[in-house]
Amino acid sequence: MIEKILLADSGTGQSEEMLKALMAIPSFQRAFVTVLHVVPPQVSSDTMTEKWEEGGKLLAQAVQSLKLDSNRVSAMLREGDPKDVVLKAADEINADLIIMGSRGLKRLVSILENSVSQYVFQLSSRPMLLVKDDIYVRTISRVTVAIDKSAASKESLSLALSLVRDIKGGQINLVHVATDPKASEAMGAAAEKDPILADAIADAKKAGVSYRAMVVTGKAGEAICRAADEMKTDLLILGSPDRRPSIAKGLPDLDRLLGTSLSDYVRVYANCPVLLTRTAG
């Protein structure tokens, strides 16, 4: 259950709209929200004072815009490198979910342009909801989950079911990427017979949640993004296991920073908000 949310608010993008969409879901309305704004270090004290004042006004406007009960929200204004401050703040409040805007930068570009969201995702073990600046945030009704046999997939499915169960007329979309390149894409009755989807379908039925199942083929990232588009997805949930050894927890995983992971591909190319759950790899 998500009880503590950290909204990293830069004053731009769609992160506030994303939180509003989530808070319309009953299970999220019990969550406590911390709205964080980070003021980068400035070259002079006068400029620093000015930025602090601007940051305080931005936070006040954000809290007012969210229209949450005063006992369910707090504002946090910090100074420092945004990447490091977001990570520290998430640990400080023990956040169950981090919501951040994302420019959707591709692969090496995200490193060269010092992407805050990419850095935080690589170094945090917490679930993250990334919202690209150039997408339209819709009311959440159709939630798509990538299904396989991993623990990360089961975690994603559990979260998706808990959300959709509370949405009137909501639907969960179950997508399995077949490894057999000769397999044809299947929906409906054919997808019902897919052994990978069987348990997920059974869980959806048990929860009383309306579902749609699809078996797709091709490269996993491309296939998931394509299926999400076809199913008119409002929120895509994807398991992202943390495979780094404990000794490397404080260092960016360069392979993943370079875009070789499935989660990295999906966060860049999906045309909807992407919630990445985390499990130990």
Q: What is the mean pLDDT of residues 82-92?
A: 93
Claim to verify: residue 156 and residue 127 sit in the same structural domain? no
Claim to verify: residue 173 and residue 122 sit in the same structural domain? no
| pLDDT score recorded for residue 111 | 38
- Above 70 in pLDDT, residue 193? yes
Q: Above pLDDT 90, what percent of the chain?
A: 48
| pLDDT score recorded for residue 103 | 63
Domain end point (choices 75, 97, 132): 132
Quickly state the pLDDT bin for 10 (edges 50, 70, 90).
Answer: confident
Q: How confident is the model over 90-141, as pLDDT tens digits?
A: 999 999 999 998 765 444 444 334 478 878 887 888 999 999 888 889 999 9
Return mean pLDDT, the chain.
Answer: 84
| pLDDT score recorded for residue 181 | 62
Claim to verify: residue 194 and residue 85 sit in the same structural domain? no
- Above 60 in pLDDT, residue 228? yes
Claim to verify: residue 123 and residue 181 sit in the same structural domain? no
Claim to verify: residue 43 and residue 79 sit in the same structural domain? yes
Q: Above pLDDT 70, what percent of the chain?
A: 83
Q: List CB contacts of 19: < 8 A, sequence separation 6 or more.
A: 5, 7, 33, 66, 99
- Above 80 in pLDDT, residue 186? no
In a domain, 137, yes or no: no
Claim to verify: residue 169 and residue 275 sit in the same structural domain? yes
| pLDDT score recorded for residue 104 | 52
pTM: 0.86
| pLDDT score recorded for residue 106 | 47
Claim to verify: residue 184 and residue 68 sit in the same structural domain? no
Strand ranges of the sheet holding 128-132, from the earlier edge strand across to the other edge: 73-79, 32-39, 4-8, 97-102, 128-132, 274-280, 235-242, 142-146, 171-177, 210-216, 186-187
HSE (CB half, 13 Å, CA atoms) of 213?
Answer: 26
Domain end point (choices 99, 132, 165): 132
| pLDDT score recorded for residue 192 | 85
Q: How far apart are CA 32 and CA 42, in angstroms?
A: 31
| pLDDT score recorded for residue 109 | 43
- Domain span including residue 102: 4-132
Q: How confident is the model over 200-225, as pLDDT tens digits?
A: 999 999 999 999 999 998 899 999 99
116 vs 43, which has greater pLDDT?
A: 116
36 vs 182, which has greater pLDDT?
A: 36
Quickly state the pLDDT bin for 29 (edges 50, 70, 90).
Answer: confident
Q: Which of 17-26, 95-104, 269-278 has the lowest mean pLDDT?
A: 95-104
Claim to verify: residue 117 and residue 169 sit in the same structural domain? no
Claim to verify: residue 9 and residue 125 sit in the same structural domain? yes
Q: How confident is the model over 233-259, as pLDDT tens digits?
A: 999 999 886 544 443 445 444 444 444
225 vs 29, which has greater pLDDT?
A: 225
Q: How far apart are CA 32 and CA 45, in angstroms?
A: 34
Q: Which residue has the tokens 């401050």?
A: 85
CATH number for the domain spanning 254: value is: 3.40.50.620
- Above 80 in pLDDT, residue 268? yes
CA 93 to chain centre: 18
